[in-house]
Amino acid sequence: MSRMFEGFTDERIDVGDVELRVRHGGHGPPVLLVHGHPRTGATWHRVAPRLVDLGYTVVCPDMRGYGQSGKAPIRPDHSQQSKRAVAGDMVRLMRALGHPTFAAVGHDRGCYVALRLALDHPDAVDRLVVVDGVPISEALARCDATFARRWYHWFFFAQPDTPERVIGADPDAWYGDKARPETMGVENHREFRQAVHDPATVRAMLEDYRAGLGVDREHEEADRRAGRTVRCPTLLLWTTRDDLADLYGDPLAVWRPWADDLRGHPIESGHHVAEENPVGLTEALHRFLG
């Protein structure tokens, strides 16, 4: 058993279109932790055991396409990697583990999945936490030269074929400056490197962004036209050394039209908060979820 998730079950669960790799453990209220790009479920390895010690059941999957989870056949509109498809996986996963209702926590790209979970499956999600992100449609509606310069990868990744060739030429050079074993932990870093050196995983991660600029944006805009909002209590966290506040001023103002019961605050960390400040993140989650 990996020292990263000692005492956790590590298994593959068939959720329909794909099979998900998932680590889960603990007893108590269930909490789903959804990672971002280009991480795997291992990014939570310092948070998940702490939550278990506080009395939660914790579920850490690799999203479809990412890490060691299955890769769905690519569709022309990239909807196989849409947040709606990934959210459907998560609901089926949690039901398979015996959790028809649960709290959903999403970081980075995972926060879009968590949002989609709360919008599409309101009877399943009883608490929502989003970390370092605003809805995709909101980011695109506010896109300016600063966003385009800092977040150019959103648009580069959406191009056909070229990103795969560029990243595949030297994955360590592409991702290495933001992925160091001394920060991530050796086992987490090893798992991350295995993922980014797998061409099928890299393509699936890029499909996440291609879906983001297309079907995911369309789904969110349809939600806004229909007046659909998140009904459960929602917590927004943003890290002090990332740029959410720089881009949007008050990130809570961006989220207010989306969530009926919203609260939030900054948390001291760089972007990968589960790795950089696991104690602070665990405390913030426990205050909200508890």
Q: What residues are labeled active site?
A: 108, 271
Q: Cα angle at 37 between 283 and 30, to 5 degrees?
A: 40
Q: How far apart are CA 4 and CA 89, in angstroms?
A: 24
Q: How far apart are CA 136 and CA 125, in angstroms?
A: 20
Within 10 angstroms of residue 152's Cβ, the number of other Cβ atoms is 10
Q: What is the DSSP letter of 214?
A: I
First to last CA, the chain: 29
Q: How far apart are CA 79 and CA 242, in angstroms?
A: 29
State whether residue 41 is helix, strand or coil: helix
Distances from the Cα of 24 to the Cα of 31, 59, 120, 166, angstroms: 10, 4, 24, 35
Name the E strands within 75-195. 102-107, 125-131
Distances from the Cα of 147 to the Cα of 83, 155, 156, 269, angstroms: 22, 11, 13, 21
